[in-house]
Amino acid sequence: MRFTDGYWQLRPGVEMLRPRDVDAVEAGTDTLTVYAPTAPITRRGDTLNRPVVTVTFDAPADDVIGVRIEHHQGRRDPGPHFTVHREPGVVKVSTPETPGDGPAEFTSGGLTARVATDGPWQVDFLADGEVLTSSSARSIGIATTPEGDFVHEQLALGVGEHVYGLGERFGAFVKNGQSVDIWNEDGGTASEQAYKNVPFYLTNRGYGVFVAHPEHVSFEVGSEVVSRTQFSVPGQSLQYYVIHGATPADVLRRYTALTGRPADVPAWSFGLWLSTSFTTDYDEATVTSFIDGMAERDIPLSVFHFDCFWMRQFHWCDFVWDPATFPDPEGMLARLHERGLKVCVWINPYIAQRSHLFQEGKEKGYLVTTPGGDVWQWDKWQAGMALVDFTNPEATAWYQEKLRVLLDQGVDCFKTDFGERIPTDVVWHDGSDPQRMHNYYAYLYNKAVFELLEQERGRGEAVVFARSATAGTQSFPVHWGGDCESTFVSMAESLRGGLSLSLSGFGYWSHDIGGFEGTPDPAVFKRWTAFGLLSSHSRLHGSDSYRVPWAFDDEAVDVLRRFTRLKMSLMPYLGQATAEVDSAGTPVMRPMILEFPHDPAASTVDTQYMLGGDLLVAPVFSAEGRVSYYLPEGEWTRLLPALAADGAPAAGDATVRGSRWIVEEHGFDSLPLLARPGSVIPVGARDDRPDYAWAEGVTLHCFELPDGFERDVVVPGGTGEPGRFTVRRTGDTLRVSSADAPAAWGVEVAGRRARAEGPGEVVVTVAG
């Protein structure tokens, strides 16, 4: 929210209180509290009629400092609140004998908040003696406005500092100059609205900021004041956390430790998902024809998804298969399972008036009500639509029980759609603040479904396909990008949304291949296919038209087959990337800034990404195949077309020198896919499914390994045992050894190959 009219004046009707001098500081065991009047106190009389701003510092974890700014502390706080996982480390607090004799300091790990106790308000956040950001004389504001009371903070931006994150945002990847409202909306992918709003940002200066408020948070990123990032919330208090990290990856690691790491997802979920699409006509015969068509064309398929009309129209959600279309759902699901497929069905948290669950939910008090005690309803989306109240534990259990019936029938996972159209003129069972529940509802909704899947399918087997989210919802993967148009422009905006989401703590992300709205022309579909199969999760889905490749042209079939099989062969590598999601919160799809934080040219790139830490992917956003991408320093190796053709990467003249922008043209069967110099990429022995024993028969592809290189490489097990290898290069000799290789394995380097049967060592001569 903007409070000023230019730099000097406030907007009409706005009054502002700001801390001026520090009157007192109090050191607790692990806190520092600062009392700052809104005018200098030079005599006793100055304390009369004088507001005081209270600022408290604490440390939920090493290298994280919490800051709480308060005016009046007597207001009721009904919640909800984001979960903050506290693991306090070493805290040091120092204060001067009296204010004015020097700064007060609060240190958590390597991060220090230094508070000036004389002169104007000034708090510097330092790491290794360097100021990362600051709160200065005009930064904190307690505002009274025609819209109500607000508290804001402004943290300094340095020269060349870029801001990223704030959830899944489809506009410019770098957020400088933008005003961003953290308020979930069903707005598609072509506007400033977003389905997944996260009040967290990070910068390329060594820190991130988490504003721990689930309600409406406004960010003015170098916009209201171009040298500062402002954030504000309604009310009389503001809680935020400054998170230090030497690199953006370090910041993400600490942020996800604070708010929750993404759960493990099953190996089968990385395969190709095919949907009925939304408003298309379909029955079991239609579904079978799609699955037969994929099998006949030798395209591996892992998951089939039934979208909304698996239920009767006007009944969403009653979780009952439409008997006219699917008279034998248990039999159908068993037949799909016999073909090796998993099954996903569409759900949302709304109960239409025609659903038999409406009256049941009304009688039991499981639906959200108005202040007058009526069930809240409207006719958007579904006639007489009501909303399940997930703040009521009994309502949550009731909803889960309805879904459990579907799991017993044979459904494997759910597409948890919607969750953004949450009213604020309602009363919640637990008394939660309706403003705070608007965004937070997405967390409760997805949590309820994900935890049911964990209970019924086991940890590591639960997965949802979710659209709405906020801070912490990353713990319930996977998330997809929502309703995009079927154009190259929308393909690019979808990627920007995914990159921003990945810098907001989300480890897995997907999108509708070919776009959702409208029908893509064959060129868009084929280019989007390559992008989609080189994403963490891959789904064919549309609105009013089917997304089977033969609906476009024969080449689309070839492209889908090629990239699906390529992804399946890369499962040992993708398994390594998922281990980093679990251990460090590092996303599978990574903006260039995350892997190359010290390369200025990488800091603004938003049309390409790293898939894991070692593969660069540059989607092609044009029909003719022209693509421009940035290649960081080093000698990179192209993986296409050879890797997709026979498992062998191109060598020799297929290397490309980096530290430059490159312009190329690619056919529909290709795109820039390059291996990082100094990388070891494990490629699987199978390309027909994602859930196999990844280490059995694996080939370690070694790229531009320098003399003296030594690394331990762990290939995750998938459905088998993991393989552990040691890779060493000395001069022109590459030695790879394994004491517990589960089966035959091999090494490829510079066009030379060697194989081993079980544990042992292989030696390859590397070309000079």
Q: Which domains does the chain have, with CATH numbers?
A: 267-583 (3.20.20.80), 693-768 (2.60.420)
Taking residue 726's Cβ as centre, other Cβ atoms within 10 Å add up to 14
Q: What per-residue confidence (pLDDT) applies to 175? A: 98
Lookup: tokens for 335: 């037949």
Q: What per-residue confidence (pLDDT) applies to 162? A: 98
pLDDT tens digit sequence for 361-370: 999 999 999 9
Q: Can you give the length of the chain in residues?
A: 768
CA angle in degrees (0–180, nearest 5) for 318-321-323: 120
CB 280 within 8 A of CB 703: no
CB 713 within 8 A of CB 682: yes
Distance CA 278, CA 346 (A): 10
Q: Which parts of 508-570 fold into alpha helices (H)?
A: 522-533, 554-569
Catalytic site residue from 23, 70, 420, 512 = 420
pLDDT tens digit sequence for 230-286: 999 999 999 999 999 999 999 999 999 999 999 999 999 999 999 999 999 999 999
Active site residue 105: no
Residues with Cβ within 8 Å of 236's Cβ and at least 6 positions away in sequence, in order, are: 70, 71, 72, 73, 75, 142, 149, 151
Q: What per-residue confidence (pLDDT) applies to 245? A: 98
Q: What is the dihedral of CA 407, 409, 412, 415, to 10 degrees?
A: -80
Residues with Cβ within 8 Å of 678's Cβ and at least 6 positions away in sequence, in order, are: 634, 703, 704, 705, 706, 709
Residue 138: strand, helix, or coil? coil
Catalytic site residue from 483, 485, 595, 614 = 483
Checking if the pLDDT of 674 tops 80, the result is yes
Residue 620: strand, helix, or coil? coil
Helix, strand, coil abundance in the chain, percent, nearest 5? 25, 30, 45
pLDDT tens digit sequence for 541-566: 999 999 999 999 999 999 999 999 99
Distance CA 571, CA 714 (A): 13
Residues with Cβ within 8 Å of 562's Cβ and at least 6 positions away in sequence, in order, are: 644, 669
Lookup: tokens for 683: 């490629």
Catalytic site residue from 21, 186, 417, 433 = 417
- pLDDT above 90 covers a percentage of the chain that reads 95
Active site residue 420: yes
pLDDT tens digit sequence for 33-49: 999 999 999 999 999 99
Q: Buried b vs exposed e over 490-519: b needs ≥16 C-beta within 10 Å?
A: bbbbbbbbbbbbbbbbbbbbbbbbbbbbbb
Q: What per-residue confidence (pLDDT) applies to 766? A: 87
Q: Buried b vs exposed e over 412-450: b needs ≥16 C-beta within 10 Å?
A: bbbbbbbbbbbeeebebbeebbbbbbbbbbbbbbbbbbb
CB 249 within 8 A of CB 586: yes
Q: How far apart are the first and last CA of the chain?
A: 61
Lowest mean pLDDT among 93-107, 296-310, 433-447: 93-107
| Mean per-residue pLDDT over the chain, rounded | 96
One-letter amino acid for residue 60 of the chain: P
Distance CA 220, CA 178 (A): 6
Active site residue 215: no
Lookup: tokens for 123: 């708090």
Q: What per-residue confidence (pLDDT) applies to 651? A: 41
Distance CA 754, CA 747 (A): 5
Distance CA 398, CA 455 (A): 15
CB 463 within 8 A of CB 269: yes
CB 676 within 8 A of CB 705: no
* Banded model confidence at residue 100, pLDDT cuts 50, 70, 90: confident
Our measurement of the distance from residue 481's CA atom to the centroid of its chain's CA atoms, rounded to an integer in Å, reads 10
Distance CA 29, CA 91 (A): 9
Nearest Cα neighbor of 484 from 534, 518, 507, 525 is: 518
pLDDT tens digit sequence for 433-481: 999 999 999 999 999 999 999 999 999 999 999 999 999 999 999 999 9
Lowest mean pLDDT among 108-112, 157-161, 297-301, 643-647: 643-647
* Banded model confidence at residue 12, pLDDT cuts 50, 70, 90: very high
Checking if the pLDDT of 751 tops 90, the result is no
Nearest Cα neighbor of 64 from 318, 258, 280 is: 258
